[in-house]
A and B are shown apart, each in its own frame.
Chain A
Amino acid sequence: MARYRTLVAGALLAALALPFVLRATGHDFQIVFAARIMIYAIAAASLNLAIGYGGMISFGHAAFFGGGAYMVGILAAEGVHSAWLAWPAAVAVAALAALMVGALSLATRGVYFIMITLAFAQMFYYVFVSLEAYGGDDGMSLAQRSGLGFGLDPSDDITWYYVVLVLMVAVLYLLHRLIHSRFGRVIVAIRENESRAEAIGFPVYRYKLACFVISGAIAGLAGALVANHANYVSPSLLHWMQSGTLMIMVILGGVGRFWGAPIGAFVMLALEETLSGSGVLGAYSVHWQLPVGIIMLAIVMYAPRGIAGAFRGRNA
């Protein structure tokens, strides 16, 4: 336990020092990349709550992620640039979408649940594709990142990095509390043995729906950040491949492992970044997806419980 705490404190210190190290060594571009990893860590953590703890294999989380992103984009297009308005709105809209999708999908189990969440997400995808007023198929650019006030300049990469870091740490802390609370104990129990959980008196449907909505809301926050990060939103954020990417991150990192999502986001994006550049594969870098696929296959074969699962027995 003491070693675990030291490890977490060390990682936090490293994350705090990272922008200065990167700037001092002339890797400024990587600061932006690190922020991107953390945003995806939030999104993957939200999905891990649903899949890993709640046992709800959602193949539609891109809808909440992309929905949150579009909320920020649409508000920006309408002249609302405050993050204090746009981000809560993104979270609220994603929560509402998750409430709707969850309420209708949670009556089904297993592969049917996967298919229904996928279908809903694709439905939302086509809604945004046909939304010509906000860019339709092409998406739209945002003039600037949402403003934070307090003299903070979100367009400054280091400031933006710290904003994202604070939110990621907050989300992870919140999830840690949640998982170890009474509520967390119940959703894990439902994942383990749904009929017995019902039989000892827990209204299973309500707990699953609450868990799904919390998960969707957090995905919405990640979406809001990704819109600001790139200053761009497009329907591809809601595409099923986005849901698939998040799911792969969770599986790589470790389903139902607390550190699974951040580790998975880091490994996945780092692989993509390294192998798609010309540095490693040279002229073959256009085929970067092949080595990424092979490495993922190896991870899944040799660490079936994910990277976090391979390192720790219980607590992770």
Chain B
Amino acid sequence: MLEVSKVSKRFGGVVATDDVTLSVAKGEVHALIGPNGAGKTTLIAQIAGSLPSDSGRIVFDGADVTDATQHERVRFGFARSYQVTSVFKRFTVLDNLALAAQARSGSSFSFWRPVAAERALIDEARAYAEEIGLARKEHFVAATLAHGEQRALEVGIAIATRPKFVLLDEPMAGMGPEDSQRMIELIERIRARVTVLLVEHDMDAVFRLADRISVLVNGRVIASGMPAEVRANEEVKRAYLGDEVPA
């Protein structure tokens, strides 16, 4: 589904990502882990298309998207969520989701017909509100939601664009155990239809969800494989996991 090969990004003298090669297979949940400063944020931006790469190639679902802009990648079935919640704060839950659905259904250079009368968009938005557990709050303005709910909406907007592939950037960021549990359940539900690249610090979540794990340290992928292999990898233990590894 996603083939990242030998991708690099330098900022002045600092090498943020260094010949990163990463392969995400169709249908899997692939976790990307690594300590702070490992280059995860840069790599995510390169994959999403908001930051051009200095070198390397990115192939998405058979198409070379190396030079494609961010919005063009969405046409190929790409979606992402953000580590720092980035929803449309003054829109209602339903309008947030309807907007995302609108992005992938027909042209939005439509100047006359009221969007609020488009039943198909509203019905679709309702279905996503239900899926992310916000059906009862669909008319709430996003800014008024609790943190955990905003995080759910954050992921909801990404999946409402009906992607084939979704990049979830620390979906559990700042969450308590209950909200985390709900987020894990949400990802369990969407994995049946969407390939997931999960960037996450919560190791319980990573080992519960991931089919495969890649470890990024100092801008390089030092290990990639089944959770058991990665857990047993000496280099990974030294660089990152330490005694955080669940027994």
Contacts and interface: CB of A to CB of B under 8 A. Distances in A.
Interface of A: 177-178, 180-186, 189, 192-193, 195-196, 198-204, 207, 210
Contacts, number: 88
Given A195-B50, A199-B48, A184 B115 contact: yes
Interface string B50-94: 100000000000000000011100110001101000111111000
Contacts of A202: 71, 103, 108
Bin the interface of chain B by size.
35 or more
Given A181-B113, A181-B115, A185-B108, 5 more contacts: A184-B115, A185-B99, A192-B88, A193-B86, A201-B103
Contacts of B116: 180
What are the 3 tightest A-B residue pairs by CB atom distance, in nearest-first order? Answer: A201-B74, A201-B103, A182-B110
B11 interface: no
Contacts of A201: 71, 74-75, 103-104, 161
Contact of B100 (A181, A200, A203): A200
B13 interface: no
A202 B90 CA distance: 18
B133 to A, nearest CB: 20
8 contacts: A182-B108, A184-B111, A189-B88, A192-B90, A196-B86, A196-B88, A198-B50, A201-B104
Contacts of B80: 199
B115 A199 contact: no
Nearest to B106: A182
Contacts of A193: 86-89
Contact of A192 (B89, B104, B112, B115): B89
B109 A210 contact: yes
Nearest to B88: A192
B71 A180 contact: no
B48 A183 contact: no
Contacts of A203: 69, 71
Contacts of A186: 99, 102, 108
A159 B106 CA distance: 44
Interface in B93-132: 95, 99-100, 102-104, 107-116, 118
A207 B90 CA distance: 20
Contacts of B91: 189, 192
A177 B48 contact: no
Nearest to B95: A185
Contacts of A180: 114-116
Contacts of B82: 196, 199
Nearest to A178: B111
B74 A183 contact: no
A185 B102 contact: yes
A186 B99 CA distance: 8
A178 B110 CA distance: 8
Contacts of B79: 199-200
Nearest to B90: A192
Given A200-B103, A201-B74, A183 B111 contact: yes
Interface string B170-197: 0000000000000000000000000000
A182 B104 CA distance: 12
A241 B149 CA distance: 47
B159 to A, nearest CB: 11
Nearest to B109: A183
A184 B48 CA distance: 26
A25 to B, nearest CB: 41
Contacts of A204: 71
B63 to A, nearest CB: 15
B50 A181 contact: no
Contacts of A177: 111-112, 114
A185 B112 CA distance: 12
Contacts of A198: 50, 70-71
A189 B99 contact: yes
A195 B99 contact: no
Given A180-B116, A181-B115, A182-B115, A200 B99 contact: yes
A195 to B, nearest CB: 7
Contacts of B86: 193, 195-196, 199
A94 B10 CA distance: 44
B31 interface: no
B29 interface: no
Contacts of A184: 111, 115
Contacts of A196: 82, 86-88, 157
A181 B118 CA distance: 10
A201 B89 CA distance: 18
A181 B103 contact: no
A109 to B, nearest CB: 15
A210 B69 CA distance: 19
A192 B74 CA distance: 20
Contacts of B88: 189, 192-193, 196
Given A200-B161, A201-B75, A181 B110 contact: yes
A181 B112 contact: yes
A185 B115 contact: yes
Nearest to B157: A200
